[in-house]
Structure formats: C-alpha cells, structure tokens
Amino acid sequence: MMDNSGKREIIKEKLEKIAEKLSKSGIEVYNARDQPSYLYDETPPTLGVKAAENVLIVKPKSTHEISQILKLAGEQKIPVFPRGGGTGLSGGAVPTSDGIVLSTEKLKWIEIDVENFCAVCGAGITLRELISEAEKNGLSFPPHPGDESATVGGMIATNAGGVRAMKYGVMRNYVLGLEAVLASGDVIRLGGKLIKNNAGYNLMHLLIGSEGTLAVVSEAIIRLLPPFKRTATVAIPFESIEGAIEAVVEILKDGIIPLALEYVERKALEIGEKVSGKRWPPKDEANLMVIVDGRDEDEVVSMAERIEEICLKKGAKNAYIAMGAKEQRDLLEVRSLIYEGMKDLVVEVLDVSVPPAKIPEYIKRCNSEAEKMGFQIVNYGHAGDGNIHQHPLKVEDWESKYPKLKKTFFRIAKELGGSITGEHGVGIVKKSDLKEQVSEVEYELMRRVKQAFDPEGILNPGKIVD
Ligand SMILES: Cc1cc2nc3c(=O)[nH]c(=O)nc-3n(C[C@H](O)[C@H](O)[C@H](O)COP(=O)(O)OP(=O)(O)OC[C@H]3O[C@@H](n4cnc5c(N)ncnc54)[C@H](O)[C@@H]3O)c2cc1C
C-alpha cells in the first residue's frame, strides 16, 4: 500500500501536468505559494481550518474555461475548490486537500435588463458592483450580506442573507436563472428571466446554497427591484431582551415589515462605537435598530412613529428616530463594525436561526450554559427573522472547552425548532454538526444528491457531506 507522502507526490505531478495544459490553453494558473491569500477565507483562525500545501490557483475568464478545468481535473480525479470573494465564514472556499482553487474573479460581465428587472452577470461580479450597476440603471438589489466584496457566485453558493432578509428575503429569492458547470465539465442552464417556472424538479434551487459542492456557478440572472426611495432608522433601548423581542412581534403584528430589524446588546454596541468612532443614541442592555423604507418621507415618518409608540408600550424608555442620511449612516456603521472590533477576541461567529419569538429563550439558555462553562457571549443579530449572531469570547483553555459549548448551543437550537446555520452555511466548520441537525434519511438523501452531481467527489470535497 502506498503511504500518504507517495500519494501526495503523485498528486503533485498531476497538478504540474494540469498546470502545463491549462497554461497552454491560455488559462491563468498560479502556484498558491505565490498567492497565499487564496488559501483562506474569513473563517476565524481559531477554528483551525487548515489549507493543503500543493495547491494551484486558476482564474478562468469564461464558462468554457471553467469547463476545460473541470474536465481535466475530473480525468485526473483532482479536487477543485470554487472561490468567490473569500468572505465566507465556514471555511467553504478553503482548499482542505491538495488540488485546484478555481477563482471566479475574472468572470466579470454584467448587463442590466431594465424592462425585465434583472441583471445577467458573471459569477465574479461583486455585491458592490451589482449594487452600483443596478443603481446606475434606476433599480436596486436589496439583499445586503455584510461584506460587499462577496461575489454573486459566492452569495448564490451560500444562499446569503443579511440584515434586509427580513423584508426582502435571501439570495434564493433573487436568483431567476443560473448557468453552472458540472464536475463532468458539462454546462447546464437553469431557469431564465421568468417569475414562474414549474418544469420538473427545481435543480436551480438545489444548486443555491450548495456551497460549491455540486457545480460551479458561472453566470446568473439576478432579480432587481425599483430603487429605495426614503428610509428612517429607529434606535430603541430596552432594559431586557424580553421587552425587545415582544416589541418585535408587536411591530410585525401591526403590519409593518421593516427593511431591517436588528437586536444588539449593549456590549456589542460599545464595541461598534469604539471601532467606528460614532456614538449610538441612548442605549440599554437590549437594543433594537429598526430601518423602515417607503415611497416618501410621510410614509416612513408615520411607520417610525408607530414603531416608537409600540416600543414605549413594551417598556422602552425612549426611542431615537434618525431621518437624515448621515445620521442613519452613522447608526448603520456602528452596527456594521461590531464584528470588525471583535474579530481577534472571538472563538467563532455562530449564526443559529430560531423561530423569532424564541430568541429570548434561546439567548438566555445559551448564556446560562456559557456562564457555567466560564464563557462570555456577545449577541446581536437579525431579530426580525430569528437569525442570531453569538460571539463566544476567548477565555483560558477555550480550545478544550469550546466544542462542548458549541454542541450545547446547537442542541438548544434544535430543541427550539431552529437550525445550526441561518446564513454562513455548513462548509467544513459545521460539517459534523449537520449530521446531528438532520435526520438520517435526510442526510443520506443529501449524500445521494452529491453523488448524482459529482460521482467522483472532486467538487469542494470534505464540505457539507462526505
Ligand atoms: C464582515 C462580514 C460580514 C458578513 N455578513 C454576512 C451576512 O450578513 N449574511 C450572510 O449571509 N453572510 C455574511 N457574511 C459571509 C459571506 O460574506 C457570505 O457567505 C458570502 O455570500 C460569501 O461570498 P464569497 O463570494 O466571498 O464566497 P467565498 O467565501 O469565496 O465562498 C463561499 C462558498 O461558496 C462557494 N463558491 C464561491 N463561488 C462559487 C461559484 N461561483 N460556484 C460555486 N460555488 C462557489 C465556495 O466554494 C464556498 O463554499 C459576512 C462575512 C464577513 C466577512
């Protein structure tokens, strides 16, 4: 039997031959030693996701080039790891075994179809570019999953969410069509500029959220909406999380669907204030940030005032309504920079999703378990849709204590009818937890789907399922 070093030598030789062939075909190929930033994404290093050593970076410029790469890799049974902006938080884009990182950064075409309210774009178009092109054409792309250097392909592959999912949904709600390259190198085109399409099993929705394990997305048709006209941001401090979440339920019952409905703890706001240099209006232990959008100032003012009224009835002492663009931007900046300020202090960013009304119970039970194990947790997140970001801070011996804490949180989430990930995906960091989240039957179906799309297991191996 060949030992590991023998196997790795063979892969190394195969990679050299692939590099030579691809270069001859005019495809850009690099050695990861010269471009090490392609080996990692934004997953906290504390989670110990390790990139392999023998890695090629390829940068195809067209669907045809992706197909050539996958055909060659398939023939040689070499793993291929699709990569977008590398902003993922679950290690999805990290090449965890020797192989090829397929970067989509050169897939940069975009065309806006104003009449059909959509963009047809290459997978490498970033969120920033998509928003800007949509706005130039008098339209908008509402979802906003945090980091604007995320790509269309990456957002589709992770079914990204973000603060606006509350009103405008997640990435899945914006994908009308996809072009994707299978592990065999075959190109498939799914959906189209269509709102309705019931022709057979929906393979397009199977690819959305598949984290690069079923196919490489090369192009997408993305739904756009008319532009936002006016917004108002309301900041409301509460003494307790119960009051804050009861107010969330009341706001929704009242028929207001905010653009964003965020819950933020005092500790988190203080960190955001420090990084941004901006001040949050009066804050308390549990704070809501509610953004509403509407046709004109009258509409957003009336919604903001109604939210204030509801929150005061639910125990808030006051509320701060920001109407000016700068004031609103400042509040958003404090909220957006919280993670930046905590990056070096946290073990992981969890993104559990629970039924929204269960948020107080979930957070309280988790905090109590964390305290018993000597951890402190900073919480904030998307209260309107039940997706909470928990940040366990590093403590002495966190390495040995943390796995148990994470398992406990996931167990509590499951007991409350929740999911281990509402946004960031399974990748490699939640792979073993997925088995405990879903039934055996469901897990086996997932494995068979993987096998049907990628029988040799070359696409992003080691992620989601084996
Ligand atoms: C500061 C910060 C804030 C964030 N906020 C949010 C948030 O609010 N909501 C949210 O949902 N996420 C958030 N994220 C996570 C991240 O931005 C999203 O997961 C994003 O969708 C990843 O896109 P990407 O292009 O960077 O993908 P990458 O990180 O490059 O890859 C992510 C996964 O997609 C696969 N992939 C990438 N491109 C393709 C393709 N063309 N075809 C097939 N598979 C592909 C990769 O293999 C990998 O499994 C945040 C991250 C950061 C750093």
pLDDT of 408 strictly over 70: yes
Q: What percent of the chain has pLDDT over 90?
A: 93
Report pLDDT digits (tens) over 156-208: 999 999 989 989 999 999 999 999 999 999 999 999 999 999 999 999 999 99
60 lines ligand 1 (CB under 6 A): no
Read off the pLDDT band of 1 (50, 70, 90). low
Domains (ranges, CATH) in the chain? 4-106 (3.30.43.10), 110-223 (3.30.465.10), 230-336 (3.30.70.2190), 345-425 (3.30.70.2740)
Q: What's the pLDDT score for residue 315? A: 93
Per-residue pLDDT, averaged over 422-430, amounts to 97
Three-class DSSP labels, the chain: CCCHHHHHHHHHHHHHHHHHHHHHCCCEEEECCCCHHHHCCCCCHHHCCCCCCCEEEEECCCHHHHHHHHHHHHHHCCCEEEECCCCCCCCCCCCCCCEEEEECCCCCCEEEECCCCEEEEECCCEHHHHHHHHHHCCCECCCCCCCCCCEHHHHHHCCCCCCCHHHHCCHHHHEEEEEEECCCCCEEEEECCCCCCCCCCCHHHHHCCCCCCCCEEEEEEEECECCCCEEEEEEEEECCHHHHHHHHHHHHHCCCCCCEEEEEEHHHHHHHHHHHCCCCCCCCCEEEEEEEEECCHHHHHHHHHHHHHHHHHCCCCCCEEECCHHHHHHHHHHHHCHHHHHCCCECCCEECECCHHHHHHHHHHHHHHHHHCCCCEEEEEEHHHCEEEEEEECCCCHHHHHHHHHHHHHHHHHHCCCECECCCCCCCCCHHHHHHHCCHHHHHHHHHHHHHHCCCCCECCCCCCC
Mean pLDDT for the chain overall: 95
398-415 helix and 359-372 helix, angle to the nearest 10 degrees: 150
pLDDT for residue 228 is more than 90: no
Over 70: is that where the pLDDT of 453 sits? yes
pLDDT value, residue 6: 84
pLDDT at 429: 96
CA atoms lying within 13 Å on the CB side of residue 383 = 31
pLDDT at 4: 79
Q: How far apart are the first and last CA of the chain?
A: 23
d(CA 144, CA 163): 7
How far does the centroid of ligand 1 lie from the alpha carbon of residue 423, in Å? 9
pTM, rounded to two decimals: 0.95
pLDDT of residue 7: 84
Residue 186 in tokens: 């075959």
CB neighbour list of residue 163: distance below 8 Å, 6 or more residues apart: 144, 259, 260, 262, 291, 335, 382
Q: Average of pLDDT values for 406-422?
A: 97
Cα(147) to centroid of ligand 1, in Å?
9
Instruction: Find the mean pLDDT for residues 413-420.
Output: 97
Decide whether any atom of ligand 1 lies within 6 Å of the 85 Cβ: yes
Phi, psi of 235 (to 5 degrees): -110, 125
Express as a percent the part of the chain with pLDDT over 70.
100
pLDDT tens digits, one per residue of 132-162:
999 999 999 999 998 899 999 999 999 999 9
How many Cα atoms are found within 13 Å in the side-chain-facing hemisphere of 116? 15
The pLDDT of 345-358, averaged and rounded, is 94
Per DSSP bridges, beta strands 55-59 and 99-103 are parallel
Average pLDDT of the segment spanning 96-111: 98
Does the C-beta of 258 come closer than 6 Å to ligand 1? Answer: no
**Predicted confidence (pLDDT) at residue 466 exceeds the cutoff of 90:** no
Query: Which pLDDT score, from 0 to 100, does residue 8 have?
Result: 86
What is the rounded CA–CA span in Å between residue 260 and residue 289?
8
Ligand 1 pocket mutation pick from 89, 156, 188 by most atoms within 8 angstroms of CB: 89
Q: pLDDT tens-digit profile of 391-402?
A: 999 999 999 999
Per-residue confidence (pLDDT) for residue 26, from 0 to 100: 97
Would you say residue 3 has pLDDT above 80? Answer: no
Per-position b or e across 63-102, b if 16+ CB within 10 A of its CB: bebbbbbbebbbebebbbbbbbbbbbbbbbbbbbbbbbbb
Given a cut of 90, whether residue 55 has pLDDT beyond it is yes
Q: How many residues are present in the chain? A: 466
**Cβ 91 under 6 angstroms from ligand 1:** no
**Residue 126 Cα: closest atom of ligand 1:** 25
CB 351 within 8 A of CB 342: no
Identify the bridge partners of residue 351 per DSSP, sorted by sequence position: 421
User: Is residue 358 a contact partner of residue 416, using CB atoms and an 8 Å limit?
Assistant: yes
- Tokens representing 41? 């994404």
209 lines ligand 1 (CB under 6 A): no
Report which ligand 1 atom has the smallest distance to the Cα of 155: 21
Convert the pLDDT of each residue in 372-386 to its tens digit. 999 999 999 999 899
Which atom of ligand 1 is the closest one to the Cα of 149? 26
Chain segment 271-323, per-residue pLDDT in tens: 999 999 999 998 999 999 999 999 999 999 999 999 999 999 999 989 999 99
Q: Atom 3 (ligand 1): residue with closest C-alpha?
A: 146
